[in-house]
Structure 1
Amino acid sequence: MDLENLVKKFDSYKYLEARYHKNDSTSIFLMNGQLLGLTKESYSGYSLRAYDRGILYFSSSSDPESLKLNAVESKGWEEFGNEKVDAGKYEVKQVKPFDSTPIDEKIKYFKDIYNRLKALDIKSKLVNFNIWYSESTEEKRIMFRDGSAVEGLVPRIGIYYSLVLQYQDRTVTVFSDEFGASGGLELLDSWKIGDKLEEKMREVDKVLTRGKPVKDGKTDVILSSMLAGIMAHESVGHPFEADRVLGREGAQAGLSYLKDLKTKRIGSEAVSVIDDPTVQNSNGFFTIDDEGVKARAKYLIKDGEVNELLQDRFSSPKFNVESNGSARAMSYNREPIIRMSNTFFKPGNMSFEELIEDVKDGVYFKSYMEWNIDDMRLGERYVGLEAYEIKNGELGDPLLFPVLEGKTTEFLPAVDAADKELKFYAGICGKGDPDQGIPVWLGGPDLRLRNVRVKVM
């Protein structure tokens, strides 16, 4: 049975979408240059979602003939957004297709990176190095009650690594999933992973061998684009999901501080946070969402004020707005729900040097070894890994694991400037029940925060 016949079979519902969704992936796992595993996975199937008289229905199966609509939400959805379906197709092209390079060459590529890092002349010892490489393709076709269809085809590459460095009695684990985007093997050429990991090891070696304790107290802080990205995603993106504000995520991922916010002003005028799925070759790329609504850039915070939430067809009527195209599903057996895509602070117009030049005494957080945030996305904590003191407008000595701890409503008003270099980092964002892990980007420029509390770890 094809999608057209599925739609005809269930066309008595007020709203209906039928989706074919396929995910293919190949993964390579190595530890200390040795191959631990090579996996290939492919799964595909069909789903139906419908709405009628206040009830949401959903069903999924690898066999479309067996689909029957079951009620999943029997209250709370009195109406739905009747936005026109933006029929069309989006696709990311591979300059170098995945199959243009044999698996053996890819394995050798990562083994060579390990050998290069192992031979690096630093004082610390490389105790362990793990790397996980994934290439995947997500394909979907969605048909709606009126016969309109949306098609998407997005190939992605993702790399996760962890390395353990030891110097005397100090040991740290460096981990990251920062490498990830949509496209083909040309991404590996552009990322220069070996160079970046070498630089990372040298920087962390400086911290381990020369780092000095941080002073406890209020000071100016520069957050790198990496930490700005975490903040954009965790303390703005998640609490600005409309279903979370409504309480639908309460039992799984928590609630939102926006429910209790008494004013639109949440940050300084230097703070604007955007979620934009249309960024080319991004990890969270799409141009039409899984409810057939055209995707666009959303200013969650604009010039320090709450501007809009991430919405889908079913949340938007409750806020008297239209859907802004934020619905996505991970696979055929998951319902579309409100998700982030590429969430980031808007850059300013300064250089990094201008950003720090009038900081007399401060701390630069370049990377992190740990972060935490509460269920309301209000209280948050970051432990710096690569971190440096700032003295009279210049970077100074490395610091041992400074801690930035406070509230979102304290940090956002403390931002008084951002530099002009926008950088993105990959991530897999978890949400929903059953859980859905979807690819995203998070990022921003370097941010300057005035007079915030830095603590000793």
Structure 2
Amino acid sequence: MNSDLCELADKGIKYAMELGVHYCDVRAEKQDKKSVLIENKDIENIKTSTDAGLGIRLIKNGAWGFCSVTDPKSFEEIKNKIDHAVKNSSRHRKKKIETYSSTVNNVKIDFPVLKKPSIEKLMEIGLDCSQIILDTPKIIRSVINPWYTENSKYFTNSEGSKIEQNFTDMIIDMNAVAHDSGITQSINTTEGGRGGLEQITDKEKIQQKAKEISQKASELIIAKFAKEEQTTVVMNPDFVSLLTHEILGHPSEADRVLGKEMAWAGGAWWKGKIGEKIGSENLNVFDDPTIKESLGWYFFDDEGIKTQKTTLVENGILKKHLQNRETAQIFNTEPTGNMRATNYRFMPLIRMACTCIGNGDRNPDEIIKEVKKGILISNMKIPSIDMKRYNWSISCQYAQKIENGEITGLLRDVIVMGTAPEFFASINACGNDFTVRPITNCGKGDPMQSMIMGNGGPTIRGIATVKSVN
């Protein structure tokens, strides 16, 4: 982190307190992003960008004030912004803001990067994957977008905390498009995590993923449609991660539970149900920012709260919500370390870090073998959810029939539908194949903030309605 930016952040705290604010925190942030876009083995563009600035949050007259400064050249710029934020703090708020008391933390954390990324390496990997995809029959287009960001975040507040976190995020987006006999099908994947090139070159090699998506896109050309029916569904971990994100993660955010997000992003289907049964005993849900290498891995949130694993649902019983320092006071509980902003330009919001359905003890193959008639649902696509996350439909990238415990015909353009309480009550098996998947485009707030995070879970089995859209 630039020492000048950190010094300006510290001076901002001191100046705000001299103006009589009750509380102030400042986030100094710097991000360098490098990206390569490759279409059909042609490098379309190479992009590099740098963004740096301060986000300043304060409480004056019992209300929040906020301002941000991009690439400040002098402290006068910051003073003017703080003056404006203090002046515009509401003097007519009926209920004064109260925040949960926080411990003081002074720490610097450098997240591990085992293999440092570079533009040259991105091009090499991207071109290799593009070639693999285009070598597959019926493929007419491949789009490969590897990118990484190097991030520095410095948090300081009027209570004495000074926290620096430095980390790299490595991502690759890949899309394979097949066409034949007037039919077009595509399969995409996003891979990566918090760390260096090892996030896409180690473990399961990205070249193997490129081969998988191109083969499946090609196979989908001759796949059949699914008839509409309520049936047994077995969902793979990638699909489960989006289901968890939309129907379990977002409703866990306390601002949604309180109705503060209803105007633009929705509420929570389980409002007022803490301590009640909301799913089967096989359903265990948690949020965990401490899962290493996940895109939701961090040690302190944007309020300076130390992260921890939070149990949200235990054996089907709703236990907790995700809390910030303000909502924790309202719910008479503790903050969970889930307050985050896209960058310094925005006020932080309560956000999932890595919300997951917990691992089970069943072999996924055994879960499938027990199904006489059903459908295997694979890989996330597009969600459509009501305001309370109660009624939901999520399309998958492909599906397969299960007949007498065997996977048979491939199905395309399949949507899975249900209601939250009915579906989660129907879960009767969870696999032992727990997987965390990267999410890079979660939107929330007004103005809208896009956030990266992890979501995950194992193979699960339940009852839902499926159909193909054709």
Q: Return the match for 1:240 from 252, 266, 272.
A: 252
The residue aligned with 1:327 is 339
Structure 1 residues 150-189: aligned runs within 5 Å: 150-176=163-189, 178-189=190-201
Q: Return the match for 1:35 from 31, 43, 58.
A: 43
CA distance in structure 1 between the aligned counterparts of 2:201 and 2:367, rounded to whole angstroms: 31
- In structure 2, runs of 5+ residues without a counterpart are 1-6
Larger deviation, residues 393-402 vs 314-323: 393-402
* 1:204/1:385 contact within 8 Å kept: no
Q: Are the structure 2 counterparts of residues 34 and 409 from structure 1 closer, same or farther at C-alpha, using a change threshold of 3 Å?
A: same
* 1:33/1:115 contact within 8 Å kept: yes
* 1:227/1:365 contact within 8 Å kept: yes
Equivalent position SS for 2:14: helix
CA distance in structure 2 between the aligned counterparts of 1:227 and 1:72, rounded to whole angstroms: 44
Equivalent position SS for 1:386: strand
- The answer on 1:3 being equivalent to 2:9 is yes
**Shift of the alpha carbon at 1:344?**
1.0
Equivalent position SS for 1:98: coil
Larger deviation, residues 138-147 vs 366-375: 366-375
The residue aligned with 1:287 is 299
Structure 1 residues 301-450: aligned runs within 5 Å: 301-428=313-440, 429-450=442-463
CA distance in structure 1 between the aligned counterparts of 2:351 and 2:396, rounded to whole angstroms: 28
CA distance in structure 2 between the aligned counterparts of 1:104 and 1:151, rounded to whole angstroms: 29
* 2:31/2:152 contact within 8 Å kept: yes
* 1:228/1:447 contact within 8 Å kept: yes
CA distance in structure 2 between the aligned counterparts of 1:296 and 1:138, rounded to whole angstroms: 22
1:274-326 C-alpha deviation (Å, 9 max, x unpaired): 11111111111111111111100111222112111111111111111111111
CA distance in structure 1 between the aligned counterparts of 2:299 and 2:368, rounded to whole angstroms: 37
The residue aligned with 2:102 is 83
**Shift of the alpha carbon at 1:236?**
0.9
CA distance in structure 1 between the aligned counterparts of 2:24 and 2:120, rounded to whole angstroms: 46
CA distance in structure 2 between the aligned counterparts of 1:19 and 1:255, rounded to whole angstroms: 28
Q: Are the structure 2 counterparts of residues 20 and 49 from structure 1 closer, same or farther at C-alpha, using a change threshold of 3 Å?
A: same
**Shift of the alpha carbon at 1:369?**
4.2
Larger deviation, residues 158-167 vs 37-46: 158-167
Q: Are the structure 2 counterparts of residues 77 and 170 from structure 1 closer, same or farther at C-alpha, using a change threshold of 3 Å?
A: farther
* 2:391/2:419 contact within 8 Å kept: yes
CA distance in structure 2 between the aligned counterparts of 1:434 and 1:180, rounded to whole angstroms: 27
Q: Return the match for 1:197 from 210, 219, 222.
A: 210
Q: Are the structure 2 counterparts of residues 202 and 163 from structure 1 closer, same or farther at C-alpha, using a change threshold of 3 Å?
A: closer
**Shift of the alpha carbon at 1:22?**
0.9
The residue aligned with 2:3 is none
The residue aligned with 2:132 is 116
**Shift of the alpha carbon at 1:382?**
2.3
- In structure 1, runs of 5+ residues without a counterpart are none
Letter in 2 for 1:44: A
CA distance in structure 1 between the aligned counterparts of 2:388 and 2:167, rounded to whole angstroms: 33
CA distance in structure 2 between the aligned counterparts of 1:427 and 1:155, rounded to whole angstroms: 15
Q: Return the match for 1:106 from 122, 137, 145.
A: 122
The residue aligned with 1:51 is 59
Q: Return the match for 1:65 from 65, 76, 91.
A: 76
Q: Return the match for 2:162 from 149, 152, 168.
A: 149
The residue aligned with 1:18 is 26
Larger deviation, residues 54-63 vs 197-206: 197-206
CA distance in structure 1 between the aligned counterparts of 2:295 and 2:368, rounded to whole angstroms: 31
**Shift of the alpha carbon at 1:261?**
5.2
* 1:87/1:292 contact within 8 Å kept: no
CA distance in structure 2 between the aligned counterparts of 1:157 and 1:54, rounded to whole angstroms: 41
Equivalent position SS for 2:326: coil
Larger deviation, residues 31-40 vs 376-385: 376-385
CA distance in structure 2 between the aligned counterparts of 1:180 and 1:161, rounded to whole angstroms: 11
CA distance in structure 2 between the aligned counterparts of 1:106 and 1:213, rounded to whole angstroms: 38
> Once the two structures are aligned, what percentage of the paired residues are identical?
28
**Shift of the alpha carbon at 1:161?**
2.2
Equivalent position SS for 1:106: helix
1:431-451 C-alpha deviation (Å, 9 max, x unpaired): 12222222101111000104x
Letter in 1 for 2:115: K
* 2:104/2:160 contact within 8 Å kept: no
Letter in 1 for 2:105: D
Larger deviation, residues 338-347 vs 108-117: 108-117
Larger deviation, residues 82-91 vs 272-281: 82-91
**Shift of the alpha carbon at 1:53?**
4.0
* 2:134/2:140 contact within 8 Å kept: no
**Shift of the alpha carbon at 1:89?**
2.8
* 1:48/1:60 contact within 8 Å kept: yes
* 1:180/1:427 contact within 8 Å kept: no
Letter in 2 for 1:147: G
**Shift of the alpha carbon at 1:350?**
0.8
Equivalent position SS for 1:366: strand
Equivalent position SS for 2:127: helix
